[in-house]
Amino acid sequence: MENQPSSEPSWIAGVEPPSDVRRLDMTAIYEMECREQPECLVRLLRAYREDRSILNELETVHQMSLSPLPVLFVGMGASYCSSVTGSSFLQSRGRSSFAVDAGEWLHYSDAACDQAAISFLLTTSGESAELVQLCKSPSFKRMALLCNNEKSTCWSLAGTRFPILAGPEYGNATKTYTNATAACIVIASHLLGRPWKKDAEQVVQTYPSSLNHAFDIRNQLADFCHGAANIELIGRGPAYGAAIMGALCIREMVGNRAAPHSGGGFRHGPLLDVNESHVAIIFALGRAAQLGVSLADDCIARGGRVILVCTEDRESSEKLLPVRLPPVPEPWESITSVVVPQGLTMAMIERSGPKLKPRFEYGEMKE
């Protein structure tokens, strides 16, 4: 007799949502989950500071990484955005590291799996088809998993595991991106033998005010973008991951065709296309902040509009809307900067409605 598929619901994060949450519409859920990000971040940092099982796993991956081979961060969607931060941070401190797309790695790079010291696989659900196959692959002998679902297939397959601790998430990636990115930073710091707690505490102190500010000015952001045919998000280093995440947020929640670029990638091509119909959200943050300011000037000179996310006071104009955020240590700007596109998205869905419906169960996972 054939096995019948399970009739048990596959709840998001393995947790049945309470009835009051299931009655909320997507607009309410999106704002709720954005507002929960600071609390979720505090919870993750406390666990990675104090939980003995996580501390043991950190020591395990440190030993696995002692090989001079590169460190890989492997993910898709928002998990890839978090991967960019992890790899960028290691590279900036002299350790060879790369962020790779899980689908591409699965189909085109299996033969190269043994050429990494360790591969960190990131998956929020733990059920994505590509990540499940990678977890099953005998080629991935030196791997660790970062996952938000401890009841998932990937969690059951992995030997070395790190929880994302963001709780269930029913909209697009907000708090899972924040916590996965923070976990990547902490893990990378541990591999480098660098202290991270003081920097993290600075982020914890300023992050809520940055989030509140972005949501307080959300209508100003939306008014500035009104009529734009293109919204493009541009960042370098850790902020490049935030640019990809910000574009995903706008596209998934609103349906606007937002696109992410690295700073260099935008200058050497798409900049030539900028005109009055164009809005660029430029993250002028970190060690390459001045390059972002210069790119903003060039966009404006071509007739485009720029939302400039920066850490210094600047004069606004018809074509320039500066958004000042408190400075944070590198690479934590990958978390704090994304609140600006999140705030813009909030205003957009309040005006035109969300394109996504709340998702309380995992659906079919296709490649």
- The reported pLDDT for the residue numbered 148 is 96
Of 295, 326, 289, 333, the C-alpha closest to 311 is 326
Whether the predicted pLDDT of 278 surpasses 80: yes
Claim to verify: residue 141 and residue 16 sit in the same structural domain: yes
Instruction: Tell me: cis bond preceding 331? Omega within 30 of 0 counts.
Output: yes
Of 291, 274, 192, 279, the C-alpha closest to 239 is 291
Rounded distance, CA 87 to CA 190, Å?
13
Contact 74, 106 (CB under 8 A): no
Q: Residues 109, 87, 205, 49: is their CA dihedral positive or negative?
A: positive
Claim to verify: residue 98 and residue 42 sit in the same structural domain: yes
Q: Is residue 337 part of a domain?
A: yes
Q: pTM of the predicted model, to two decimals?
A: 0.95
Dump pLDDT digits (tens) for 199-216. 999 999 999 999 999 999
Claim to verify: residue 58 and residue 194 sit in the same structural domain: yes
Domain boundary among 199, 232, 264: 199
Dump pLDDT digits (tens) for 32-72. 999 999 999 999 999 999 999 999 999 999 999 999 999 99
Q: Is residue 358 part of a domain?
A: no
Query: Which residues form the domain of 241?
Result: 208-352
Of 156, 148, 210, the C-alpha closest to 173 is 148
Domain boundary among 150, 165, 199: 199
Of 127, 51, 84, 350, the C-alpha closest to 238 is 84
Rounded distance, CA 219 to CA 222, Å?
5
Rounded distance, CA 360 to CA 14, Å?
10
Domains of the chain: total: 2
Whether the predicted pLDDT of 166 surpasses 90: yes
User: How many CB atoms lie under 10 A from the CB of residue 100?
Assistant: 21
Claim to verify: residue 179 and residue 265 sit in the same structural domain: no
Claim to verify: residue 56 and residue 178 sit in the same structural domain: yes
Angle CA(327)–CA(247)–CA(361) in degrees, nearest 5? 110
Q: Is residue 362 part of a domain?
A: no
Is residue 3 very low, low, confident or very high in pLDDT (cuts 50, 70, 90)? very low
Claim to verify: residue 191 and residue 219 sit in the same structural domain: no
Q: Is residue 330 part of a domain?
A: yes
- The reported pLDDT for the residue numbered 7 is 63
Q: Is residue 315 part of a domain?
A: yes
Q: Is residue 361 part of a domain?
A: no
CA dihedral 351, 305, 335, 14 (to 10 degrees): 30
Claim to verify: residue 70 and residue 35 sit in the same structural domain: yes
Whether the predicted pLDDT of 4 surpasses 70: no
Claim to verify: residue 145 and residue 51 sit in the same structural domain: yes
Edge-first strand order for the sheet with 320-324 is 258-262, 230-235, 278-283, 305-310, 320-324
Domain boundary among 199, 228, 262: 199
Token code pair at residue 43: 């919870």
Contact 13, 149 (CB under 8 A): yes
**Mean pLDDT across the chain:** 94
- The reported pLDDT for the residue numbered 2 is 40
Q: Is residue 83 part of a domain?
A: yes
Claim to verify: residue 183 and residue 312 sit in the same structural domain: no
Beta strands 258-262; 230-235: pairing state: parallel
Is residue 1 very low, low, confident or very high in pLDDT (cuts 50, 70, 90)? very low
Under DSSP, the state recorded for 17 is: P
CATH, residue 75: 3.40.50.10490
Claim to verify: residue 50 and residue 162 sit in the same structural domain: yes
Q: Which of 1-15, 25-39, 264-278, 283-297 has the lowest mean pLDDT?
A: 1-15
Q: Is residue 242 part of a domain?
A: yes
Dump pLDDT digits (tens) for 111-120. 888 899 999 9
Q: Residues 335, 309, 210, 202: is their CA dihedral positive or negative?
A: positive
Claim to verify: residue 162 and residue 213 sit in the same structural domain: no
- The reported pLDDT for the residue numbered 147 is 97
Claim to verify: residue 53 and residue 190 sit in the same structural domain: yes
- The reported pLDDT for the residue numbered 111 is 81
